[in-house]
Amino acid sequence: MAEIFITRKVFGEVIEILEKEGHTIDINNTDTILPSPKLVKRARGKAGLVSLLNDRIDSQVMNELSSLKVISNIAVGYDNIDIDAATRRSIMVTNTPGVLTETTADLAFALLLSAARKIPEADSYIRAGKFKNWQLMQPQMGVDIYEKTLGIVGMGAIGQAVAKRAHRGFDMRVIYFNSSRKELAEKEYKAEFVEFDELLSNSDFISIHVPLTEKTTHMFSRNAFKRMKKNAILVNTARGPVVDEKALVSAIKNGQIRGAALDVFEEEPKVHPELIKMAENVVLAPHIGSASIETRLRMAKMAAKNMAEGLKGNKPPNLVNDAVF
Ligand code: GLV
């Protein structure tokens, strides 16, 4: 029986699962991000830490938490955790893959549609009482989606779920860039494997689905934007720092690309002030890729089960750092 610290508000089911196992729970019910010293203070002496993607758990934090055995992150991404540092200390780290794939792909597509067809702008127009008559030259004329080319950067599970929607629902041509070929996507969704530069210059829409690593940081740089089509719309539901936000702002301002739909930001929860102003060609969402009630609950329960298994000394189903086992 162990003590667990949960860094933020979670569904009651998480607590039920862990208490049933006989564990004692301490929880930060304020639901605000705890600065490292506070997090350390609350988690000290505990064997389990249930974290969210915006809790930074680096090697300094781990140095202070010598009793820690399992970190269960309620997210598929785990760039907030220093995995090497955890592995060196034999701390298991787990994530929540799979259960959020379709939901995140839905959101990526929703953003793509919203930006292409200017839905947020149209909504604001009506609310502002500006809808007086149907006009042929309507201010909210967007661009077509069907039969256009979608470039997918990162063809993991979520990338493939986006490809499925594009191919089956919208007759889009799908091209992709990934570290390896994905036969299923090539066969089922007619996805074509291309080099990054080719993807940039041929896509009408680009959707990002890579994890954040040193390699993918600022993958969308000034140079990348220069290669993109003038009509292109960039969709990011992965991680903010994959896109150089300053370069994105310039690219939109200079007409190098048409616009963007962003669910994630370089310095969350901060958003570049210029992006906030760009209501006509930028759609913004507050990191809600997996935010359906069903999926968030599935993620939370999965995280609780990962924690329970790890604390039993078993290999958790979604162990990220296999080397510790
Ligand atoms: C969300 O961004 C996640 O990584 O689960």
Cα 236 to middle of ligand 1, angstroms: 12
Q: Based on the residue annotation, tell me whether 287 is a catalytic residue of this protein.
A: yes
Q: List the domains of the chain with CATH numbers.
A: 3-98+293-324 (3.40.50.720), 101-284 (3.40.50.720)
Does residue 49's CB lie within 6 angstroms of at least one atom of ligand 1? no
Does residue 236's CB lie within 6 angstroms of at least one atom of ligand 1? no
Task: Note the pLDDT tens digit of each residue in 99-119.
Answer: 999 999 999 999 999 999 999
Read off the pTM: 0.97
Using most ligand atoms within 8 A of CB, pick from 50, 51, 53 the residue to mutate for ligand 1: 53
Q: How many CA atoms lie within 13 A of 42 on its CB side?
A: 19
Confidence of residue 69 (pLDDT cuts 50, 70, 90): very high
* Mean pLDDT, residues 125-150 taken together: 96
pLDDT at res. 281: 95
Does residue 289's CB lie within 6 angstroms of at least one atom of ligand 1? yes
Does residue 302's CB lie within 6 angstroms of at least one atom of ligand 1? no
* Mean pLDDT, residues 210-218 taken together: 98
Q: How many CA atoms lie within 13 A of 20 on its CB side?
A: 11
Task: Note the pLDDT tens digit of each residue in 248-264.
Answer: 999 999 999 999 999 99
* Mean pLDDT, residues 156-164 taken together: 98
The mean predicted confidence, pLDDT, of the chain is: 98
pLDDT at 325 over 90: no
Helix (H) or strand (E) holding 234: strand 233-236
Q: Taking each helix axis from N to C terminus, what angle separates 12-20 and 293-311, rounded to the nearest 10 degrees?
A: 20
Q: Based on the residue annotation, tell me whether 147 is a catalytic residue of this protein.
A: no
Using most ligand atoms within 8 A of CB, pick from 8, 104, 298, 320 the residue to mutate for ligand 1: 104
Task: Note the pLDDT tens digit of each residue in 171-211.
Answer: 999 999 999 999 999 999 999 999 999 999 999 999 999 99
Does residue 75's CB lie within 6 angstroms of at least one atom of ligand 1? yes
Confidence of residue 12 (pLDDT cuts 50, 70, 90): very high
pLDDT at 78 over 90: yes
Q: Based on the residue annotation, tell me whether 268 is a catalytic residue of this protein.
A: yes
CB contact set of 54 (below 8 Å; sequence gap of 6+): 33, 80, 268
Closest residue by CA, ligand 1 atom 3: 75
Task: Note the pLDDT tens digit of each residue in 269-324.
Answer: 999 999 999 999 999 999 999 999 999 999 999 999 999 999 999 999 999 999 99
| DSSP class per residue in 115-157 | HHTTHHHHHHHHHTT---S--TT-TT-----TT-EEEEE--SH
Using most ligand atoms within 8 A of CB, pick from 51, 54, 100, 288 the residue to mutate for ligand 1: 100
Is residue 248 within 8 Å of 232, Cβ to Cβ? no
